[in-house]
């Protein structure tokens, strides 16, 4: 069954689709991802995907398991970011989350994890950057942090023209607090202070970019990303300059968008009718 968007909009060059709820959004993103990867596999031996983690990705990850029509053994997965010094078996480790939630249940052929608990860190960073650079990334699956980050490119350190592929970062306080609120760590002291992250140009270098951002806690960041300036202070705003990206929202995460309020958009749009919105 195809999951339908309730409405579709354009912000600069970015296509934004709004769904009824997180489950429908996850299903639509999974259908689109599998359709794209299966098309890649028609002409290539393998398809390479770069995957986000985080609580907001769960409905998407769960929906992937319900899709037919793809041989996951021919898919190679990479991920966006990892905490420095956190063991791969820690429940909050992004490698652990992906292995348990995606790689093992789907039977993904190969997984390149960022071993940011190993030393020297510089060797880990350069090896991962090399592996990513040598792969053709067919699909990048992103989320948006509550502070507007993409991967762990937190404001104000995000760099739209970053010369690196992978870099070490000190985590923004907002990012660390979010991890405690979501229950991944018992308190702030337990949250690692540093991470390795794929940089913004390397994320957007993928052939296709799907950004999945459901839930009301993302409404403020989504509104700033789509209606504020395109600026590293809100890293996800760069999606508006990314024609090969799609943003998947639900009613809650789209709830802060002034431009979608009935009183500011004129006549209400018909369900699923395209509506063009320019950022102010
Ligand atoms: C996390 C990760 C990202 C993810 C984003 C959304 O902390 N660094 O890989 O895309 O932030 O996370 P969440 O779904 O927990 O809000």
> Does ligand 1 have an atom closer than 6 angstroms to the CB of 59?
no
pTM for the structure as a whole: 0.93
Determine the atom of ligand 1 nearest the C-alpha atom of 152: 8
C-beta of residue 109 within 8 angstroms of C-beta of residue 135: no
| Cα first-last separation, the chain | 36
Minimum CA distance residue for ligand 1 atom 1? 54
* Ligand 1 pocket member 78 (CB < 6 A): no
Our answer on whether the CB atom of 182 is closer than 6 Å to any ligand 1 atom is yes
Q: What are phi and psi of 179, to 5 degrees?
A: -65, -35
Q: Strands 47-51, 14-19: parallel, antiparallel or unpaired by DSSP?
A: unpaired
Per-residue pLDDT tens digits of the chain, which is 280 residues long? 689 999 999 999 999 999 999 999 999 999 999 999 999 999 999 999 999 999 999 999 999 999 999 999 999 999 999 999 999 999 999 999 999 999 999 999 999 999 999 999 999 999 999 999 999 999 999 999 999 999 999 997 899 999 999 999 999 999 899 999 999 999 999 999 999 999 999 999 999 999 999 999 999 999 999 999 999 999 999 999 999 999 999 999 999 999 998 876 543 343 343 344 443 3
For the chain, the maximum distance between any two Cα atoms, rounded to a whole number of angstroms, is: 59
Query: Atom 15 of ligand 1 has which residue's CA nearest to it?
Result: 54
Atom from ligand 1 closest to the CA of residue 52: 9
CB of 54 shorter than 6 A to ligand 1:
yes
Q: Is 85 exposed, middle or buried (0-12, 13-18, 19+ CB in 10 A)?
A: middle
> In degrees to the nearest 10, what's the CA dihedral of 114, 117, 121, 125?
0
């Amino acid at each position: 069954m195809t999951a339908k968007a309730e409405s579709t909009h354009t912000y600069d060059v970015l296509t934004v689709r709004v769904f009824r709820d997180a489950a429908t959004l996850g299903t639509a993103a999974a259908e689109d991802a599998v359709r794209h990867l299966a098309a890649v596999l028609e002409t290539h031996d393998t398809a390479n995907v770069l995957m986000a983690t985080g609580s907001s990705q769960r409905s998407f990850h769960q929906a992937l398991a319900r899709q037919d029509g793809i041989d996951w053994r021919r898919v190679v997965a990479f991920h966006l970011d990892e905490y420095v010094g956190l063991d791969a078996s820690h429940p909050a480790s992004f490698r652990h989350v992906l292995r348990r939630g995606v790689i093992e249940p789907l039977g993904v052929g190969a997984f390149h994890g960022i071993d940011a608990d190993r030393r020297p860190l510089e060797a880990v960073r350069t090896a991962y950057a090399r592996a990513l650079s040598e792969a053709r990334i067919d699909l990048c699956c992103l989320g948006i942090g509550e502070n507007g980050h993409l991967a762990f490119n937190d404001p104000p350190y995000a760099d739209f023209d970053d010369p690196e592929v992978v870099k070490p970062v000190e985590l923004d306080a907002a990012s660390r607090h979010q991890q405690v609120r979501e229950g991944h760590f018992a308190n702030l002291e337990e949250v690692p202070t540093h991470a390795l992250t794929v940089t913004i140009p390397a994320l957007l270098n993928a052939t296709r970019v799907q950004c999945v951002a459901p839930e009301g806690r993302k409404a403020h960041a989504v509104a700033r990303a789509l209606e504020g300036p395109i600026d590293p202070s809100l890293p996800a705003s760069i999606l508006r300059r990314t024609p090969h990206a799609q943003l998947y929202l639900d009613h809650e995460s789209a709830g802060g968008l002034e431009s979608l309020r009935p009183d500011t958009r004129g006549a209400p749009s018909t369900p699923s009718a395209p509506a063009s919105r320019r950022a102010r």
